[in-house]
Chain A
Amino acid sequence: MGNGAIRKIVIVGGGTAGWMAAAGLSAVLADSRLTIDLIESAEIGTVGVGEATVPHIRGFNAKLGLDEADFMRKTQATFKLGIEFRDWGRQGESYIHPFGAFGQPIGGVDFHQHWLRANARGEADPIEAYSLPIVAARLNRFAPPSPDPRSLGSTFSYAYQFDAGLYALYLRAYAQARGVRRTEGKIVDVSLRGEDGFIEAVTLESGQRIEGDLFIDCSGFRGLLIEQALHTGYEDWSRWLPCDRAAAVPCDAVEPPTPYTRATADAAGWRWRIPLQHRVGNGYVYCSDYISDDDAARVLVSKLDGKAQADPRFLRFVTGRRKKQWNRNCVAIGLSSGFLEPLESTSIHLIQLAVTTLLELFPQRDCAQADQDEYNRVMDLEFERIRDFLVLHYHATQRDDSPFWIDRRAAPIPDSLAYKMDLFRDRGMIVKYRDGFFLEPSWLAVYLGQNILPQGLDPMTDAIDPVRAARALSELKTAVRRTAESMPDHQAFIRAHCDARAVA
């Protein structure tokens, strides 16, 4: 029965995934009689593409007991109310995917149905006028949500934009203070146990051998343990998400940081822009079939706000997921578990979900098959639902200006996405499910933002007096505007609460 409690956890790889895992595990397991080792090599760089987060990160930080202001100062963090998508539906267009709902139901019918009806009659403002986080974002304002659930100011959430390298360092200090042992070194050998193929130990270049009961593979794309040692296999999703490279470069900030991340569609992919306190993170995610590395780098650099702070770094990846995120006594967390482009800032979210799910299903030394099965079921579902949401961005486009976009329009989509889109096209209804990060407002933002308009409405909308609905819409718009305008300027709020320059 379980053959006893885990005594030794070994995390292979530092970086965001490694240190989030170390911090998350040590926060919960600090009192247990187990040791946590983390092995990282200075020679092997970290990727750190995930500089933008989703609101769940606040739950993770709260579980660790982090002080928000301190964490923000030390990671150069800014606030994030959503993501702006530029040029996705058509060139010249912009919409924001907000962390918050678009209005409340009126007469039991979803707000957006009323908006759709009013919009069809030419009696509505653009949908974003009814979203507090969007209007605040456009005005460069930020204030934390109100704790009063009756207040409009409580109807949104927020996340952060931070320097993932600094976040890893911050969590490293946290984890080390809770007993995580850090070993510097490069792994040259992984030994498997004869009888069950479990990982027994890793050997470093120095000759040091580190044994463990449970191994967390945070080694990045190559999957040193999960793939190179255990040959777990990879499910390739590039037929749906064909971008396979990224170039990344930080640049000087020339304007106050926006409280949102920007993803701009470009001729062969899309570019991210993540404003931090001290700089702006930039990247171009592209498909190598359509553009060369040199051209991608040239485009990226030409679009920077300010002066580039380094030469572009290049990354290669294949979108998809490891066939088993947990195999034998090895759990892959971070890029070793799979890759989904950071279009919706899900990289860190997936790490977080992996850590919390592992804790929920924390095994004994035999890593019961039931624990692995359940972990893999939960993670697979999340990966698939994020995948569908990302594919929607590429599929719902009217662009015909470049071969890449022309091909995206024609490319096949997963059946599960086609089903969701059919229901939305039919009557503006969004498929709901129990698990999965992206909820109704997210889907709605992208559908409407990329010009997917339903052919009809929820017929129950007809049961609600249009005058009553129009009044509710107009009141909400006014209140949103007023509330957003009453919020402090984002930069000013940062300076007052979490200015990185105040770090001693």
Chain B
Amino acid sequence: MRSGRPLPLGRVAIIGGGIDAWMTAAALARATGGRAAIRVVETGPEASGARSTLPALRSFHALLGLDEAALMTATRATYKLGSRFLNWTPGARHCEAFGEIGARLEGVEFHHYWARLRQAGDSAPLDVFNLAAVAADLGRFAPPSPDPRSPLSTLTYGLHLDAGLYAGVLRDLALSHGVEAQRGAVAQVIRDGVTGDIAAVALADGERVEAELYVDATGPAARLIGQALDEPFEDWSSLLPGDRAVRLTAPAPDVAAPLTDIEAVAEGWLWRIPLQGALDSGLVYRADLTDDAAALEALSRGLAEDGRSEPEFRTLTNGRRARARVGNCVAIGGAAGGIETLDATDLHLIQSGVTRLIALFPRPGDGPAAAQEYNRLGAAMIERMRDMAILHYRRSGRRDGAIWDLGRDAPTPEALAYKIAQFESRGRVVMYDEETFLEPSWVAAFIGHGVLPVRHDPLADRMPLDRMRATLERMQAIFRQTAEGLPSHEQALAQVGMTDA
């Protein structure tokens, strides 16, 4: 460790691996500016597969000083304008794209006009009024325009990343900021007899790791906070039916559209995340309904045999740690909780966890206030994400698999039930504290999954019907035209890094 330098922020030991550990290490190293001694004990799990991410990750990269072009090249990244949901009701498809849907007209949100149009008998899907959805469907991409008058200014995007390579980039960044790393395995977590805090982590080779703050980045195993500190896990398996996943990567010479595909099948749902030259696919299913062999078969349907990676099976734990921060231990990522990765939330959970940790960093002699606030915010955030995931299942029209019946019939948490009731009643989007998804995402998800407003805002009736029709048709045409004028996803990726060169 660095010697001779004061460490007012103390020693941080991050135990675990993968993106959970390295995102935490890189962000803490950057924020503490050398005034903390940060050490990662790589016990695993390693990152594998691909990740679909939200636009917010890019501001995190900016904070870390990561150059996006270099990062994209290093992680075989592609652009993401949103997610496309296929067959959640057989034959149905819709896009949950980032960016705005339509435009506010006369002070009224766009979707009220769409609802009115629909009541008048028109059948244009919501997607045709979403520039990002139109562009993504056409396989086209452009970064947002800085000109607020351009329809392109409403665009925003996330990335598809190779998880292992991404963890590697973060690891290099963390190491360059003075983080120390070692491989190891936890033999024992030693607790202080009086406070119950972690006094040390004993490794298998006999070394004792001591720190003021321990980050549990061991994933769902929760080696510190769960196994050692016995912090209970609030289990949401009765709310979300998927509990197991299988994934594999296959070569993909063609660049797919800039979106994540989420396709429902009888056994559960498939994801397809495009990387440069590869496609990461997976199936989320339910172990007591579908065995691993059947799951692999469902995943393999339609995939070419050549060059496929070995399938990787993993148990999913839907739920959250009752408290993600207990004493001198903070769980980040999978150790703190998780939800079916329907909405690309897993990296966001890590990002928000470490951002919150920086904002509420422990201090020697801390009272309970900071930890309480950390836990309050984290619980609210993951619950709102969970609500979004549950919403997808709620109105599925599939009758071909028991997993769909479970998803449909599961109890609805009160906060979500209220949200659904409000949207269904009058297209009102209720937003609580700590929402990850913005209004347009909720609108797209409600409508896409069949929660349609019975009434629209009566203020949308002030516009004469023919004028409204003409306005919406014009909007649709502009979006179509704009999207058609954009470069292809492949061209956009070829441009990455070239402009800076």
Whether A422 lies near B425 (C-beta < 8 A) is no
Interface centre among A426, A434, A456, A458 (most CB of B within 10 A): A426
Q: Which residues of A contact B363 (CB under 8 A)?
A: 427, 456, 459
Distance of B295 from chain A, by nearest CB (Å): 40
Chain A hits for B457, CB < 8 A? 360, 362
The reply to whether A1 and B35 contact each other, CB–CB distance below 8 Å, is no
Among A255-263, A367-375, A407-415, A445-453, the stretch in contact with B = A367-375
Q: In the assembled complex, which residues on chain B have CB atoms less than 8 Å from the CB atom of A29? A: 459, 462
Our pick among A32, A364, A423, A459 for the contact of B462 (Cβ within 8 Å) is: A32
Any A CB within 8 A of the CB of B458 = yes
Smallest CB-CB separation from A463: which chain B residue?
Answer: B33
With A422-B369, A458-B361, A460-B361 in contact, is A5–B458 under 8 Å at CB?
yes
B409 at the interface (CB under 8 A from A): no
**Which A residues are in CB contact (< 8 Å) with B372?**
419, 422-423
Contacts of B365 in A (CB 8 A): 456
Which partner residue on chain A sits nearest B107 by CB separation?
A28
B430 within 8 A of A: yes
Q: Do the beta carbons of A463 and B9 come within 8 Å of each other?
A: yes
- CB-based nearest A residue for B106: A28
Q: How far, in Å, is A453 (CB) from chain B's closest CB? A: 15
> A1 vs B454: C-alpha distance in the bound complex, in angstroms?
8
Smallest Cβ distance from A230 to chain B, in angstroms?
Answer: 22
Cα separation A1 to B63 with both chains bound (whole Å): 50
Q: Are B459's CB and A459's CB within 8 A?
A: no
- Nearest Cβ on chain B to A109's Cβ, whole angstroms: 9
Q: Are the C-beta atoms of A362 and B458 separated by less than 8 Å?
A: yes
Please report the C-alpha to C-alpha distance between residue A108 and residue B361 in the assembled complex, in whole angstroms. 13
Inter-chain contact B426/A433, CB cutoff 8 Å? no
Q: Which residues of B lie under 8 Å from residue A434 when comparing CB positions?
A: 431-435
Residue ID in chain A nearest B464 by CB atoms = A31
Query: B369, A425: Cβ atoms under 8 Å?
Result: yes
Check if B124 is an interface residue, CB within 8 A of chain A. Answer: no
Of B370, B422, B434, B455, which contacts A1 at CB under 8 A?
Answer: B455
- Chain B hits for A107, CB < 8 A: 33
With a cutoff of 8 Å between Cβ atoms, the chain B residues found around residue A427 in the complex are 360, 363, 369-370
| Interface residue? B148 (CB, 8 A) | no
Within 8 Å by CB of B362, from A6, A32, A425, A459, lies: A459
**Count: A-B pairs, CB below 8 Å:** 100
Shortest distance in angstroms between A142's beta carbon and chain B's nearest beta carbon?
A: 30
Set B32, B35, B358, B422: member contacting A374, Cβ < 8 A? B422
Q: Judge whether B206 is part of the interface by a CB distance below 8 angstroms.
A: no
Tell me, yes or no, whether B421 is within 8 Å of chain A by CB: yes
Chain A window 349-376, contacts with chain B (Cβ cutoff 8 Å), 1 for yes, 0 for no: 0000000000111111000101101100
B-side contacts of A373, CB under 8 Å: 418, 422
A484 and B306 CA atoms in complex are apart in Å by 71
- 1/0 per residue A152-164: CB within 8 Å of B? 0000000000000
**By the criterion CB–CB under 8 Å, are A371 and B369 in contact?**
no
Interface size on B, residues (CB 8 A): 42
Asked if A311 CB lies within 8 Å of chain B CBs, one says no
| A127 in the interface (beta carbon within 8 A) | no
Distance (whole angstroms) from the CB of A373 to the closest CB of chain B: 8
Q: B8 within 8 Å of A by Cβ?
A: yes
User: Which chain A residues in 400-443 approach chain B with CB under 8 Å?
Assistant: 419, 422-423, 425-427, 429, 431, 433-434
Give B29-57 as 1s and 0s: 1 = Cβ < 8 Å from A's Cβ atoms: 00111111000000000000000000000
Cβ-defined partner of A362 (8 Å) among B36, B358, B422, B459: B459
Q: Report A149 CB to chain B, min CB distance, Å.
A: 13
CA distance A325 to B367 in the complex (A): 39
A5: which B residues are within 8 A, CB to CB?
458, 461
Q: Is B235 an interface residue (CB 8 A)?
A: no
Contacts of B459 in A (CB 8 A): 28-29, 359, 362
**Complex CA–CA separation, A422 to B376 (angstroms):** 14
Chain A's closest residue to B430 (CB) is: A374
A429 touches B370 (CB 8 A): yes
CB distance from B243 to the nearest CB of A (A): 32
The answer to whether A463 and B370 touch across the interface, beta carbons within 8 angstroms, is no
B428: A residues at CB distance < 8 A: 360-361, 370, 374
Known: A423-B369, A423-B373. A429 touches B425 (CB 8 A): no
Q: In the assembly, what is the distance between CA of A252 and CA of B275, in Å?
A: 75
Interface string of A1-43 (1 = CB under 8 A from B): 1100110000000000000000000001101100000000000
Are B370 and A364 neighbours in the complex by a CB distance under 8 Å? no
Chain B nearest CB, measured from A424 CB (Å): 9
Q: Which partner residue on chain A sits nearest B63 by CB separation?
A: A108
Q: How far is the CB of B453 from chain A (nearest CB, A)?
A: 11
User: Do A371 and B425 touch (CB < 8 A)?
Assistant: yes
Q: How far is the CA of A107 from the CA of B31 in the complex (A)?
A: 9
Kindly supply a per-residue 1/0 record for chain B positions 133-152, scoring 1 wherever the CB is within 8 Å of any chain A CB and 0 otherwise: 00000000000000000000
Measured in the bound complex, the distance between the Cα atoms of B367 and A425 in whole Å is 10
| A-side contacts of B360, CB under 8 Å | 427, 429
- Residue in A2, A28, A368, A462 with the greatest tally of chain B CB atoms within 10 Å: A462
Chain B, range 448-484, C-beta contacts under 8 Å to A? 454-455, 457-459, 461-462
Q: CA A45 – CA B31 in complex, angstroms?
A: 59
A374 to B431, CA, bound (A): 11
Can you list 22 pairs linking A and B with CB atoms under 8 Å apart? A5-B458, A361-B428, A362-B458, A364-B458, A368-B426, A370-B425, A370-B428, A371-B426, A373-B418, A374-B430, A422-B369, A423-B369, A427-B360, A427-B363, A427-B369, A434-B432, A434-B433, A456-B366, A459-B363, A460-B31, A460-B361, A463-B32
Apart from A360-B428, A368-B426, A462-B35: 7 A-B pairs, beta carbons within 8 A: A32-B461, A107-B33, A108-B31, A371-B425, A426-B370, A431-B373, A459-B361
**Interface of B toward A, CB cutoff 8 Å:** 8-9, 31-36, 63, 107, 358-363, 365-367, 369-370, 372-373, 418, 421-422, 425-426, 428, 430-435, 454-455, 457-459, 461-462
8 A-B pairs with the lowest CB-CB distances in the bound complex, closest first: A370-B425, A426-B369, A462-B8, A463-B33, A422-B369, A459-B363, A423-B369, A459-B361
Residues in chain A within 8 A of chain B (CB atoms): 1-2, 5-6, 28-29, 31-32, 107-108, 359-364, 368, 370-371, 373-374, 419, 422-423, 425-427, 429, 431, 433-434, 455-456, 458-460, 462-464
